[in-house]
Chains A and B, each alone.
Chain A
């Protein structure tokens, strides 16, 4: 597609439930990133994919967070047993390897 596409745009979930957030990067972009932005905060790096592999997972906050990428394209970020502190905007971005990073519109997660 023309830009990075994310779904859902907004998600309200109950504490303890699992959620999946989806990212469809710009066609041809081999690098894909997930960031988290909590209210009033800057961007926190979560995970980086090059193709289908994730050589940098250093930002994942706990083992409740996981992500995968298939076909060198779509990525899914899964949060298990959600907690209220997981409430944030989750931003996906893609790029050619060391080039400019382009962001999607984000998925706003609220855990109640």
Chain B
């Protein structure tokens, strides 16, 4: 079974600075998806960025980018020019492409709580 580890329970960053959130995972599969989700106090899980494992190029969405190191099984999220609205719980997630009962299971890490200081 896959596992996802987020080693930083909490992180803080000054507004306009850059912060990197860490994520490592364990799998024997060669192809899969990786995601970062953001959960603000409103509770809704919002997709931040997605990476297909077969793509070598790191995904980027505006101020959010990832450093995907497949051999090291590492998938960190970099937030540039941090804004107050970035404050949230961030979850790293792994999605297998091998179905179990047609379920392509999504496995989450325990999350990193990001605080943005003005």
- B-contacting residues of A (Cβ < 8 Å)? 31, 33, 41-43, 45, 48, 50, 55-56, 89, 91, 93, 97-98, 100-106, 108
Asked whether A106 and B35 contact (CB < 8 A) given A42-B108, A55-B103, the answer is no
* Shortest Cβ distance from residue B13 to the other chain A in the assembled complex, whole angstroms: 21
B contact residues, range: 20 to 34
Residue of B nearest to A44 (CB): B108
Query: Taking the nearest CB of chain B, how far is it from the CB of A32, in angstroms?
Result: 11
Q: Which residues of B sit under 8 angstroms from A42, Cβ to Cβ? A: 91, 108-111
Whether the pair A106, B43 counts as a contact (CB closer than 8 A) is yes
Across the interface, which residues of B come within 8 angstroms of A102, CB to CB?
A: 47
Tell me whether B28 is interfacial, beta carbon within 8 Å.
no
List B contacts of A100 (CB < 8 A). Answer: 33, 35, 47, 50
Whether B71 sits at the interface, judged by CB under 8 Å, is: no
Q: Is the CB of A56 within 8 A of B97?
A: no
B106 contacts A by Cβ under 8 Å: yes
Residue among B44, B109, B110, B111 making CB contact with A103, cutoff 8 Å:
B44
For A97, give its contact among B37, B101, B104 (CB under 8 Å). B104
Contacts of B102 in A (CB 8 A): 48, 50, 55-56, 97
Nearest-neighbour CB distance to chain B for A60, whole angstroms, equals 13
Answer whether residue B62 sits at the interface, using C-beta atoms and an 8 A cutoff: no
Q: Apart from A93-B45, A103-B45, what 14 extra A-B contacts exist at CB < 8 Å?
A: A33-B106, A42-B109, A42-B110, A50-B103, A55-B102, A56-B105, A97-B102, A97-B104, A98-B104, A100-B47, A100-B50, A105-B42, A106-B43, A108-B43
With a cutoff of 8 Å between Cβ atoms, the chain B residues found around residue A31 in the complex are 103
Who on chain A is nearest to B111 by CB?
Answer: A42
Q: Does B72 belong to the interface (CB within 8 Å)? A: no
* B54 to A: closest C-beta gap in Å: 14
Chain B residues near A45 (CB-CB < 8 A)? 105-106
Chain B residues within 8 Å of A56, by CB: 100-103, 105
Closest Cβ neighbor of B44 among chain A residues: A105
The closest CB in chain A to the CB of B37 belongs to A103
Is the CB–CB distance between B108 and A43 below 8 Å?
A: yes
